[in-house]
Amino acid sequence: MKDIYTDLRNTMLKRMQNSASELRRFMGLSGQELSEYLGVTRQTVSNIEQKRTPMNIPLYLAYGALLDNYLGKHKQDMKAIQAVIRRNNPEIGEADMNLELNSVNGSFLQGWFACFPSNDDKRLSEVPEYECMQILARQYKVFLNHDTLQMLECREMLQRFTPVLQEFNSKIIVPQRSIEYLQNNLMSDETEVREAAKVGLDTCLNAKREGIISIHGEATDGELSVLYPAVFSRFKLEQRLLLISQDEMLRNSVEKLDDTDDIQGFQVRTGRLDDQGTLRILPSNRH
């Protein structure tokens, strides 16, 4: 099997080198200033930017630390920095769901160290909920489906999750299609369906106010049964992904992405709320 971790780290090195010159200018640094921050010669900076020498790991980590330090003072510039990386690496194309490039939760150093095997992946289905939430907030992009969102217990689960997500500057993704599904159900003739939809929308709105949920999607997005497998197959090479849903068939549709060698990447994980409203990550079937 391909070593996805090595491949991804090599991709990150290439992306950073391709973007190095524009990133330096974006941060308002001269070549000499950058060389002093990185602890290298001005010629080394020039060689990296002109691609005369390949970027190595120690230099990448120095760039990552510098970017993290810059973002600590200018958090609002993260989207612009991501745009710089995308512009200098046109093969990436347009990324759905605001995929972070070379970073995790706004940190380029976290992004690098996430590209190594982790025992936490195996422990997700075994540890207590709070510890599980810490792993997810630190390492995963979590997607929340409307069938879980509309459960009364989901609001309490998100309240428990909130301080952990805020600590790691992480957000849960809710597809726009899920929101549209709940909005349509507000017009249902069935009282139970209408009430569940209202619970889901209220829970989502409250969580969005807390800054822990981000809604993403396009008008052209297909049904969720098609959308999730498409998004997960595209981005599992870049990031660890988790789908929280009560729908077993939907969970199976993304888990099956791990059954083929044609789609490389991190292992896809799924979870649900149990009868007590506790978040449970389902055991992996991957060998």
Please spell the DSSP secondary structure of the chain, one letter per residue: ---HHHHHHHHHHHHHHHHHHHHHHHTT--HHHHHHHHTS-HHHHHHHHTTSSPPPHHHHHHHHHHHHHHHHH-GGGHHHHHHHHHHT-GGG-PPGGG--SS-BTTBHHHHHHTSS--THHHHTTTS-HHHHHHHHHHHEEEEE-HHHHTSHHHHHHHHHHHHHHHHTT--EEEEHHHHHHHHHHTT-S-HHHHHHHHHHHHHHHHHHHTT-EEEE--TT---HHHHHHHHHHHHTTTSEEEEE-S-HHHHHHHHGGGG-TTS-SSPPEEEEE-TTS-EEEPPP---
Q: Which CATH number fits the domain that encloses residue 36?
A: 1.10.260
Average the pLDDT over 154-165 and give the result.
96
Do 222 and 263 belong to one domain?
yes
Is residue 70 in a domain? yes
Is residue 29 in a domain? yes
Do 65 and 127 belong to one domain?
no
pLDDT at 115: 84
Percent of the chain at pLDDT > 70 equals: 94
Do 48 and 184 belong to one domain?
no
Do 132 and 172 belong to one domain?
yes
Is residue 38 in a domain? yes
Do 159 and 50 belong to one domain?
no
More confident residue, 131 or 219: 131
Do 166 and 248 belong to one domain?
yes
pLDDT at 99: 62
Q: At what angle do helices 42-49 and 4-26 cross, to 10 degrees?
A: 110
Residue 113: pLDDT band with limits 50, 70, 90 = confident
Do 20 and 147 belong to one domain?
no
Find, among 222, 246, 214, 225, the residue nearest to 147 by Cα. 246
CA–CA distance, 241 with 243 (Å, rounded to integer): 7
Average the pLDDT over 71-97 and give the result.
83
User: How high is the mean pLDDT of the chain?
Assistant: 90
CA–CA distance, 67 with 253 (Å, rounded to integer): 37
Do 64 and 191 belong to one domain?
no
CA–CA distance, 210 with 24 (Å, rounded to integer): 34
Q: Report the residue count for the chain.
A: 287
Q: Residue 49 pLDDT > 60, yes or no? A: yes
Do 125 and 264 belong to one domain?
yes
Q: Which CATH number fits the domain that encloses residue 145?
A: 3.40.50.1010
Which residues sit opposite 270 in a β-bridge? 243
Burial class (CB in 10 A: 0-12, 13-18, 19+), 23: buried
pLDDT at 286: 55
pLDDT at 218: 82
Do 131 and 182 belong to one domain?
yes
pTM: 0.77
Domain boundary among 76, 103, 130: 103
Burial class (CB in 10 A: 0-12, 13-18, 19+), 277: middle
Residue 5: pLDDT band with limits 50, 70, 90 = confident
More confident residue, 284 or 45: 45
Structurally, how many domains does the chain consist of? 2
Enclosing domain of residue 172 = 120-281
Q: Residue 94 pLDDT > 60, yes or no? A: no
Residue 217 backbone class (left: φ over 0; alpha: ψ -120 to 50; beta: rest): left
Do 127 and 201 belong to one domain?
yes
Do 94 and 154 belong to one domain?
no
